[in-house]
Amino acid sequence: MSEKKKFQPLSAPKGVPDYVPPASPQFEAVRDAFTRQAHLAGFQHIELPIFEDTALFARGVGESTDVVSKEMYTFQDRGDRSVTLRPEGTAGVMRAVIEHNLDRGQLPVKLNYSGPFFRYERPQAGRYRQLQQVGVEAIGVDDPALDAEVVALADRCFRSVGLSGFRLELTSLGDRDCRAVYRTKLQEFLFDLPLDEETRKRAEINPLRVLDDKRPEIQEMTAEAPLMLDYLNDTCREHFEIVTGLLDDMNVSYTVNPRLVRGLDYYTKTCFEFVHDGLGAQSGIGGGGRYDGLMSQLGGQDLSGIGFGLGIDRTLLALEVEGIELPDISRRVDVYGVALGDAAKRRMVEVINQLRINGIRADMAYGDRGLKGAMKGADRAQARFALVLGDQELADGTIALRNLSEHAQSQIPLVDVVEYLNRALSTR
Ligand code: HAM
């Protein structure tokens, strides 16, 4: 007798979260709430490929960044092309804008997107290898009012899901000209310090990153380091002042953090991060900034843009920390059908279909579970109403309607059931 082979169950790849019921509706709710805020501000959806030519990220995000040098999922496809699972969204949006000439029309081009991104990071709480973002990019106009709009939009996104325990940090990274002057000054300062080999190398490639080093000894040594904000030229200083002034006008609170450093190379001028203090080490729930040189670096016109990426995974963790459950997500359906007998079931399938056609969330019991077992299904779905149909009702042309929260039951004509439920559900 041959023995049946027993297979071991498989797990998701390391560092890749699943979102399954009953928590997964919260995921959708956050993504949809952020997207709605973007649409309210006139952004339009862009759907981008999950993988791109590797050169896009090397050129767009910057080869000296950890994201490009250490964290990309890069592989040769079967045609021997080097492709990379997107680690972020901005470079891809820019590529698509140039490729489809969107920058030749009305400016700014305002685009929003959402979906998974991939970074080979060391997994820990709130840091995943597949992460989810909602992002926006406003491209083609270098106007501080647009910076303020984008920052205020991110702030509204988080508030729209009920979060309040977060801070907004803001700074200006200057432009090509003043940043070059500052970079030299910072390097002069850093090269005088007794830095270890690796940190010295970092100071050569990307000195700003040294200011972001969390080790206490480095923080102490760099406490007096020159700051970009003190080296802004007149254009950048004025730009930053207008941005902060507009945020004040809109009552968006922020703190200026002149040591704010972002992990991607393309930023110029306004740069910001939203931090949630309940999240431990991975506290950045969203961030973004302006990017002046990115489009020309990718072969397009020399136009500026500004955008952000908000982390859905970390927003969900922050909601948990703040004890917030978005309303109504635990309710799977409003109406649950229970049919007793074959003829009743046939009719119930039709009734449930009619309810759905009329925009009512409905489900029914499948398999032969008996009345008690089927009613458990109604409870689990947290339905407001159960419809019970047996042979007797079928013969009478009625259906039993149970109001599950009020524990009341009434008999209504079968032909009126959709209209009745439509009314009952719309008055709640
Ligand atoms: P980013 O700061 O690299 O920016 O990512 C944005 C957000 O994605 C972070 O604030 C964080 O909430 C979330 N995130 C990043 N990495 C992980 C991870 N490993 N696990 C979980 N969540 C993560 C960007 O990606 C830019 N493209 C944003 C942007 C758009 N700048 C201008 N336009």
10-residue mean pLDDT profile of the chain (428 residues): values are 83 96 92 98 98 94 84 97 97 97 96 98 96 98 98 98 97 94 95 92 89 89 95 97 98 96 88 96 96 94 97 98 84 94 96 97 92 93 95 95 94 96 85
Q: What is the 3-state secondary structure (H, E, C) of 87-150?
A: CCCHHHHHHHHHHCCHHHCCCCEEEEEEEEEECCCCCECCECCEEEEEEEEEECCCCHHHHHHH
Torsion (CA) 395, 401, 407, 408 in degrees, nearest 10? -80
Q: How far is the C-alpha of 402 from the C-alpha of 405, rounded, in Å?
A: 9
- Cβ(60) to ligand 1 under 6 A? no
194 Cβ contact list (under 8 Å, min separation 6): 221
Nearest CA to ligand 1 atom 3: 263
- Cβ(263) to ligand 1 under 6 A? yes
112 token code pair? 């929003």
Q: How far is the C-alpha of 89 from the C-alpha of 373, rounded, in Å?
A: 47
- Cβ(144) to ligand 1 under 6 A? no
User: What pLDDT, on a 0 to 100 scale, did the predictor assign at position 307?
Assistant: 98
Nearest CA to ligand 1 atom 33: 307
Q: What is the distance in A from the centroid of ligand 1 to the CA of 310?
A: 6
- Could you identify the atom of ligand 1 that is nearest to the CA of residue 263? 3
User: What pLDDT, on a 0 to 100 scale, did the predictor assign at position 369?
Assistant: 82
Nearest CA to ligand 1 atom 9: 286
Q: What is the 3-state secondary structure (H, E, C) of the chain?
A: CCCCCCCCCCCCCCCCCCCCCCCHHHHHHHHHHHHHHHHHCCCEECCCCCEEEHHHHHHHHCCCCHHHHCCCEEEECCCCCEEEECCCCHHHHHHHHHHCCHHHCCCCEEEEEEEEEECCCCCECCECCEEEEEEEEEECCCCHHHHHHHHHHHHHHHHHCCCCCEEEEEEECCCHHHHHHHHHHHHHHHHCCCCCHHHHHHHHHCHHHHHCCCCHHHHHHCCCCCCHHHHCCHHHHHHHHHHHHHHHHCCCCCEECCCCCCCCCCCEEEEEEEEEHHHCCCCEEEEEEEECCHHHHCCCCCCCEEEEEEEHHHHHHHHHHCCCCCCCCCCCCCEEEEECCHHHHHHHHHHHHHHHHCCCCEEECCCCCHHHHHHHHHHHCCCCEEEEECHHHHHHCEEEEEECCCCEEEEEEHHHHHHHHHHHHHCC
- Cβ(334) to ligand 1 under 6 A? no
User: What pLDDT, on a 0 to 100 scale, did the predictor assign at position 422?
Assistant: 94
Nearest CA to ligand 1 atom 30: 308
- Cβ(121) to ligand 1 under 6 A? yes
Q: Which CATH class is domain 335-426?
A: alpha beta
Q: What is the distance in A from the centroid of ligand 1 to the CA of 119?
A: 10
237 labeled binding residue: no
Nearest CA to ligand 1 atom 2: 287
- Cβ(307) to ligand 1 under 6 A? yes
- Cβ(270) to ligand 1 under 6 A? no
Q: How far is the C-alpha of 58 from the C-alpha of 268, rounded, in Å?
A: 18
- Where does CATH 3.40.50.800 sit in the chain? 335-426
Q: How far is the C-alpha of 181 from the C-alpha of 259, rounded, in Å?
A: 17
Classified by CATH at the fold level, domain 24-175+233-321 comes out as BirA Bifunctional Protein; domain 2 (3.30.930)
- Cβ(166) to ligand 1 under 6 A? no
- Rounded to two decimals, the pTM is 0.93
Backbone angles phi, psi at 173, to 5 degrees: -100, 10
Q: What is the distance in A from the centroid of ligand 1 to the CA of 343?
A: 55
Q: What is the distance in A from the centroid of ligand 1 to the CA of 137?
A: 13
- Angle at which helices 24-40 and 312-321 cross, to 10°: 110
Q: How far is the C-alpha of 134 from the C-alpha of 106, rounded, in Å?
A: 23
Q: How far is the C-alpha of 83 from the C-alpha of 40, rounded, in Å?
A: 35
Q: How far is the C-alpha of 156 from the C-alpha of 38, rounded, in Å?
A: 10
121 labeled binding residue: no
User: What pLDDT, on a 0 to 100 scale, did the predictor assign at position 106?
Assistant: 94
* CA-to-CA dists, residue 56 to 49, 51, 63, 83, 295, angstroms: 12, 10, 11, 9, 11
182 labeled binding residue: no
- Where does CATH 3.30.930.10 sit in the chain? 24-175+233-321
Q: What is the distance in A from the centroid of ligand 1 to the CA of 226?
A: 27
Closest to 118 (Cα-Cα) out of 168, 160, 184, 73: 73
What length does the chain have? 428
Rg (CA), the chain: 28
* CA-to-CA dists, residue 155 to 113, 145, 167, 401, angstroms: 17, 15, 9, 44
Closest to 16 (Cα-Cα) out of 115, 113, 132: 132
231 labeled binding residue: no
User: What pLDDT, on a 0 to 100 scale, did the predictor assign at position 65?
Assistant: 83
90 labeled binding residue: yes
- Could you identify the atom of ligand 1 that is nearest to the CA of residue 133? 8
CB of 139 within 8 A of CB of 305?
A: yes
